[in-house]
Structure 1
């Protein structure tokens, strides 16, 4: 009868029989590279040293674990994770721009741009509707060269916004005469083109509310006996006084009511603070300029021990005081 005795010693198995001796080598179960990685793997996490900071103070976010990429939502307006897919805003921060031209020199500034938040026009607007309202004159640059267009740049109208109310804007021509004897009518043609009223959402994002063609201008004469002239074209309009009208007679064109409207601005965009291939990031500093309670989010892609990737979301609450 054959008897087999198998011994395991230091990774070597000795097999004996009654007839011969054989040595069989069997490899030990050594740790695989994947298991080594798993042993050293550290999940991504983030923390701050305290929860309350002052405005202007650096908030230091400290990271543990490595990451392929990190995108940061600070929690400030337009950097909020909650609005990463879509943001609907209902803010009214109007700015307007246009170009003006006047036909003769020397230029008398008898042309004004105005805005109102309490104008209440009749079904057929009349001059008394204007005088019963408060109109704010908005200064704008004018040309010093006849027949030369001058851009105003953005004129901020936000100071005249009243919550729940629309605004109206208008151009006013004041009939003017020289100091000569007898006075000479100053037949100024004031032209406007390129008008655009926008709702400014962010420093670099705005939505147009009205323009040259859809502002709904209504002409209103201050002197119905001797009217001035209003001409509207597809790309420009002009106002002109009447030499038979008294000095100081007013001639207006007034826009339709401009209401704030909800605007889809798209999703908030995070700040990428680490990109794939970059060195390991162990911390990131953020300064908050306004007081408030912020929820900062870190959207992380991390490589797993098996070579796959996980998307990780971590948040930290930060209180900022003045």
Structure 2
């Protein structure tokens, strides 16, 4: 019985080893299959446009639904309507020269000190300085303040309409920054607060701020606003980000430590001494946005209208604004190692 049991153990051990070898062999074969290139099938695809009754046409009105009819069955189709933000030719565009425009609103409260808010622009500010301390990124306030002091700041306060008091926000008007565009460098935009000792110091609220790149074709791209650098916004439905804001003051010029308070997406607010007794010293504080590329635009994007698992013979679309549009369809077949693609364009005239 002992011998019989021993033989069974040996046979069991051999079966286990044989099973292991089979599993390893199967895995090796699977890996070989995964690494093997699969030939991609060439794309066969075309597009025509028609009215709802089936009549072929490239002329429609804003009341019509354009029926794009397809031949072929590619794995993927992406549609660019040709409207702003959906132009195939601009899918990789990240910059374009236009007219950079700044606008914002202000409310002035408290006190009667004059000239306490300045609007400044610099193209040589070295930015907010940081240090890494024990693996943690920390702002270097002293170096940042030194960078502010060393930079060349152009005062453009006179270009803006500022609040003179009250509770209603006053629009600055559109401020043209084209003269800074000509320098060919990113810029920083700053609000500088200054207050004197001895009397009630002003409170300023800044809101509704944006910097836009307005192009010759009438399109306008927001390139900076009151959003934090991690808070997205959109241009024509396409997501982008701005540079965000930094606030700072030099204690040597602001003993009472009055600082700008920044609220993401909403406002910049600074409140100085609210009584003459509290105004024991002057105050200076900065709120700075940048760097800003005044030529920045958001790349256009198409809409994925077909995935590999679907079959699509047509696609309806309505244009709401009259004009001429290049409707573009990018079709592709894809494998793990190759892509075959084709682009088809239909030029449409849309009447009111």
Tell me the TM-score normalised to structure 1 length: 0.47
Higher helix share: 2
